[in-house]
């Protein structure tokens, strides 16, 4: 929380006192998406440390934005939004639409967090558009500075997608060579699969059916269809 209030009589200043601390709106956004456990929130939010997340959750509870629900029998803790936080949904929705229309794609996508991006894609993969058999997909990211440049999706019919950085002894059906920016752009509506292939930022090879249906099974952000969205440049 801010150490000192703004001291303004404007109603907006009071909202800023409550919502401005870094991570507050992003935590609420992930709770809106259905996450309620500490570890899930940390993974979904991105580059937040456990200490900062713990403090922010405590602050938000004291402010009345969230409620902490402990199940002593199971030893679990869930964090859920109060009505006060739920009432923020229209404002958060408007901010997301504003960002899609007004922030340049190169700026919006520059800090893409790869584990968060792959977790989102894996969780929301449109499995109905995949063949009804085991599918193994390999991603290689040219712009990832960390140790995990290669990721795998293993999808079996009727089960959630398994997202991993080490693959068991399985045959790979589809290979994608790309960048975090390129893949994020295709998922967020800032570009499309054909545009990224034409720009030379995405290379796909392997199973012809998976290649052809890539645009169908790759999940799209809720805000991917915003009218007037700022698109990623057609070429480097």
pLDDT reported for residue 138:
97
Domain spanning 11-87 has what CATH number?
1.10.10.10
Q: Which residues of the chain have pLDDT under 50?
A: 1-2, 236
pLDDT reported for residue 108:
92
Write down the domain spans for the chain: 11-87, 108-217
pLDDT reported for residue 5:
65
pLDDT reported for residue 1:
45
Domain spanning 108-217 has what CATH number?
3.30.1050.10
Residues 6+ apart with CB under 8 A from 194: 215
- d(CA 123, CA 121) in angstroms, rounded, equals 6
Q: What share of the chain is helix, strand, coil (3-state, %, to 5)?
A: 40, 15, 40
The token pair that represents 147 in the structure block = 């140790």
pLDDT reported for residue 144:
87
The token pair that represents 167 in the structure block = 């693959």
pLDDT reported for residue 4:
64
Q: What is the pLDDT of residues 64-85, one digit of tens each?
A: 999 999 999 999 999 999 999 9
Are residues 221 and 134 in contact, defined by beta-carbon separation less than 8 angstroms? no
pLDDT reported for residue 3:
54
pTM tops 0.75, yes or no: yes
């Amino acid at each position: 929380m801010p150490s000192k209030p703004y001291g303004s009589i404007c109603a907006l200043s009071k909202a800023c006192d409550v919502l401005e601390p870094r991570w507050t709106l992003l935590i609420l956004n992930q709770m809106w998406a259905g996450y309620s456990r500490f570890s899930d929130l940390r993974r979904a939010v991105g580059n937040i440390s456990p200490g900062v997340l713990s403090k922010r959750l405590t602050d938000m509870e004291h402010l009345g934005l969230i409620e902490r629900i402990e199940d002593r029998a199971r030893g679990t803790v869930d964090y859920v939004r109060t009505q006060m936080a739920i009432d923020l949904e229209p404002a958060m929705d408007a901010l997301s639409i504003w960002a899609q229309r007004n922030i340049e794609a190169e700026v919006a996508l520059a800090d893409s967090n790869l584990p968060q991006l792959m977790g989102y894609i894996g969780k929301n993969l449109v499995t109905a558009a995949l063949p009804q058999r085991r599918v193994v997909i390999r991603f290689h990211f040219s712009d990832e500075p960390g140790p995990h440049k290669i990721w795998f999706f293993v999808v079996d019919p009727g089960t959630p997608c398994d997202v991993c950085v080490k693959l068991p002894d399985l045959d790979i059906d589809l290979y994608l060579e790309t960048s975090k920016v390129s893949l994020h752009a295709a998922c967020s509506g800032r570009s499309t699969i054909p545009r990224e292939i034409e720009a030379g930022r995405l290379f796909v090879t392997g199973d012809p059916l998976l290649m052809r249906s890539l645009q169908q099974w790759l999940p799209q952000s809720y805000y991917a269809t915003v009218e007037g969205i700022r698109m990623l440049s057609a070429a480097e």
